[in-house]
Amino acid sequence: MNRVSVALCVLIVVGGAFLLAALNLGTAAGSPLHVPPYVVSLVGKYLCYAILALAVDLVWGFAGILSLGHAAFFAIGGYAMGMYLMRQIGGRGVYGNAVLPDFMVFLNWKELPWYWHGFENPMFASVMVLAVPGVLALLFGWLAFRSRVSGVYLSIITQALTYALLLAFFRNDMGFGGNNGLTDFKEIFSFPLQADATRDGLLVASAIALAASLLLAYGIVTSRFGKVLIAVRDAESRTRFIGYRPEQYKLWVWVLSAVMAGIGGALYVPQVGIINPSEFSPANSIEAVIWVAVGGRGTLVGAVLGAVLVSAGKTWLTGALPEVWLFALGALFIFVTLLLPTGILGALRRRDRAPAPLPAVEPAQ
């Protein structure tokens, strides 16, 4: 982990986002320098994935918690944002109901369920984006870490968690739009979502959120807290005999990671224009783990790199040869596991650092 790569990554992410936004707004559609709006949204989407990857790396790379359900926190953050965006539609929906979103009118609901109240307020919705994934993670983590559930067992439970949420959100009577999810958004904070400037703004916001998450994560893993965390990852019972409580450390970083994933999801939804239960599908969480493995587990910057590279590859391949994508992803995972176990960044770093020679001399008698 070094300062330089983190600084470089922050610079590229934020600088790149501003550059793309400027080229989108400041050039005419025919100009060779023009960046079309779909590229802006696409890059914005990648940056949100990178926030999720960062969240996964924080728990997997530094605390040894392999979460196979992290996309659940991403999706929940997304739903919280989606609920706000739904309420913003107001009377402009297909059914013209000023209070009820279209799907509720369609289901013959007469009034707004209690948990939808407050989401018309952007401040409230923003707090929920952080709070709901955070509280769910707190509850889940408290139970799991206190009972010393770890390793494969924990991974399986996280997978079960996201699968359970997938099934729950598919149900119409949950009140989240069933399998169609939430969509047809009109505006965010009163800015029209279809406008280029709004899309540029969201791209820049995603870049800033990613940069802030990266700096925060870097600050944490290089602090003494982070050193304890790494110790817990590699020798959990030893930390206990020294007097640390690994479950507290894991819970802190787990909740933080969930909140981070939630922020990623909240920025993702307005840029793709829809949130539906498929975001909870286990494959999404596994894909996030692959991003981190490809980029380099425990490197933070690698997670960002992996998320962007693999997602860009996915965009290209699903366009060119749609049926090949899943095979390619599987092959990539096998390739990385066998030949690049420390990921792209790990491989780059190993080249710089010559192995430290062992001392040949015995200490003097």
Partner 1 sequence: MTRPHDDTLLYLDNVTVTFDGFRALNALSLVMERGEMRAVIGPNGAGKTTMMDVITGKTRPDQGEVIFGRGTDLTRLDEPDIAALGIGRKFQKPTVFEPHTVWDNFLLALSGDRRPRFTLWARETDEERERIEALLATTRLSELRERRAGDLSHGQKQWLEIGMLLAQDPLLLLVDEPVAGMTDAETAQTAELLREINRSHSVVVVEHDMDFVRALDVKVTVLHEGSVLSEGSIDHVSADPKVIEVYLGR
Q: From the CB of 364, what's the least distance to partner 1, in Å?
A: 8
Which CB, 224 or 351, lies closer to partner 1? Answer: 224
Smallest distance from the beta carbon of 298 to partner 1, in angstroms? Answer: 9
Query: Residues 199, 256, 191, CA angle at the centre, nearest 5°?
Result: 20
Nearer to partner 1, 148 or 171 (CB): 148
Query: DSSP secondary-structure letter at 179?
Result: G
Least separation in angstroms between CB 155 and partner 1: 22
Q: Least distance (Å) from partner 1 to the CB of residue 236? A: 10
Residue closer to partner 1 (CB basis): 113 or 151: 151
Closest to partner 1 by CB, 6 vs 83, is 6
Nearer to partner 1, 23 or 220 (CB): 220
Smallest distance from the beta carbon of 345 to partner 1, in angstroms? 15
Distance CA 188, CA 201 (A): 11
CA nearest neighbour of 348 among 63, 4, 57: 4
Query: Is there a contact between 53 and 291 (Cβ–Cβ < 8 Å)?
Result: yes
Pairing of strands 274-275, 182-183: antiparallel
Q: How far is CA 214 from the centre of its chain?
A: 12
Comparing CA positions, the residue from 218, 291, 252 lying closest to residue 71 is 291
CB of 273 to partner 1, least distance (A): 38
Interface residue list for partner 1 (CB under 8 A): 220, 223-225, 227-228, 230-231, 234-235, 237-245, 248-249, 252, 355-356, 358-359, 362-363, 365
Element (H, E) at 295: helix 282-295
Nearer to partner 1, 108 or 237 (CB): 237
Q: At what angle do helices 246-272 and 196-222 cross, to 10 degrees?
A: 170
